[in-house]
Amino acid sequence: MKTILFATDYSKNAVTAIKYAHRLSSKLGANLLVIHVYSLPMMLGLEFDIFYDELEKTTQKENNAKLKNFCKKHLGKDLAEMNVKTDAFENLSVAHGILIKAAEHKAFMIVIGMKKESAIKELFMGDTSMSLIEKAPCPVLLVPKNATEDLNKIVYATDFEQEDIGAIFKLAQIAKKFDAKITVIHIAPSILGDGNLKMEWFKEMVQQKVTYKKIKFKVLFSEEIFGTIKMYLDSNNIDMVAMLEREKSGFLKKLFQRDMVKEMESFGKIPLLSFNEANY
């Protein structure tokens, strides 16, 4: 059975995110592993060894109890019946701890809640989020505080890369369980270019690998990539946006230009699913 890994820090946004993660796991027939990564204070000297061992055991027990109570409060008391497991553990790096567990359980997806009000601020200001997107062995889903659990319309933004096809294949597995529609969009700078021809070629490539029928393909013509994507998401009531993050030229890295952050503050107020090209 697949495993969806949800990492929580007990923030307000974590409540929305854990419910979203559980909804996903239920629909996909997956286990939900809820984790919390904590760190212990550094202590030096032999005189602290015995005390530190006791502190380690006590802290682990307390953190696991807190995590289990958090899940029971927001999901229900019978966690085992809901295929929900918990694991609180120590690691100096939250991102590293999450990545270790994701690899250990061969996670289908990592889900985290956004602390900021938009995906752009979350990624621009949150080292953990960006580190996961760059290094995770599976897709990473950022869930904002106002996300609804409905998943009817999904947008996948493409630059016609080969790796996009693998990502769309995985996205279709999710969409199928919700009977959701996927729109694959590409932003072309000019209507006089070959954007439509490239999309037709890409459409044929996708349809050779992906059998899901509720996928359509659309080219949007604009010089301003991210503003156009945002406008399309808003005007079409999109429930999730997905992108392939590339090592050198990914959509998300482009957003880190300081002069664009203010302009794009409201972008990403819906769940953002990132696929890493290295995994495809």
CA distance 28 to 30: 5
Sign (positive or negative) of CA dihedral 229, 234, 236, 238: positive
Instruction: Order the strands of the 109-113 sheet from edge to edge.
Output: 84-90, 31-38, 3-7, 109-113, 140-143, 272-276, 240-245, 153-157, 181-188, 215-221
Nearest residue to 2 (alpha-carbon basis) of 136, 108, 140: 108
Greater model confidence, 45 or 216: 216
| Percent share of the chain, pLDDT over 90 | 55
**What does the pLDDT average to over 29-46?**
81
- Name the CATH architecture for the domain at 153-279: 3-Layer(aba) Sandwich (3.40)
| Strands 140-143 vs 272-276: parallel, antiparallel or unpaired | antiparallel
pLDDT above 80 for 54: no
> pLDDT tens, 207-263?
999 999 999 999 999 888 778 888 898 899 999 999 888 765 555 555 444 333 334
Domain boundaries, the chain: 3-143, 153-279
What is the overall mean pLDDT for the chain? 84
- pLDDT greater than 70 at residue 42: no
Q: Which residue has the higher pLDDT, 10 or 44?
A: 10
Kindly calculate the radius of gyration of the chain based on its CA atoms and give it in whole angstroms: 20
Instruction: Kindly report the pTM of this predicted structure.
Output: 0.86
Lowest-confidence region among 26-30, 54-58, 266-270: 266-270
Which CATH architecture describes the domain 3-143? Answer: 3-Layer(aba) Sandwich (3.40)
In this prediction, residue 207 carries a pLDDT of 96
Residue-wise pLDDT for 113-146, tens only, equals: 876 554 444 443 456 777 888 889 999 998 988 8
> Could you tell me where the beta strands, DSSP code E, fall in 77-207?
84-90, 109-113, 140-143, 153-157, 181-188
* Lowest-pLDDT choice from 120-129, 134-143, 189-198, 269-278: 120-129
pLDDT at 64: 95
Q: Which residue has the tokens 């809640």?
A: 113
CA distance 96 to 94: 6
Q: How far apart are CA 130 and CA 50, in angstroms?
A: 37
Would you state the pLDDT for residue 237? Answer: 92
Q: What is the pLDDT of residue 127?
A: 63
DSSP H or E stretch at residue 233: helix 225-235
DSSP code string of 11-62: -HHHHHHHHHHHHHHHHHT-EEEEEEEE-PPP--SGGGHHHHHHHHHHHHHH
Distance CA 5, CA 8 (A): 10
pLDDT at 82: 94
pLDDT value at residue 22: 97
Report the candidate in 277, 254, 252, 276 with the shortest Cα–Cα distance to residue 119: 252
- Provide the pLDDT for residue 109: 97
Residue 25 near residue 87 (C-beta atoms within 8 A) = no
Judged on CB neighbours under 10 Å (0-12, 13-18, 19+), 123 is buried
Structure confidence at residue 126 (pLDDT) = 53
Rounded (5°) CA angle 274-235-189: 70
3-143 and 153-279 agree in CATH topology = yes
Length of the chain equals 280
β-partners of residue 63 are none
Residues 6+ apart with CB under 8 A from 95: 127, 128, 131, 132, 135
Which DSSP letter does residue 123 get? Answer: H
- Show the CA angle centred on residue 222, arms to residues 157 and 201, nearest 5°: 50
> Between β-strands 84-90 and 240-245, what pairing exists: parallel, antiparallel or unpaired?
unpaired
Q: What pLDDT digit, counting tens, does each position of 66-123 carry?
A: 999 999 999 998 999 999 999 999 998 999 999 999 999 999 999 998 765 544 444 4
Q: Where are the beta strands (DSSP E) in 136-214?
A: 140-143, 153-157, 181-188
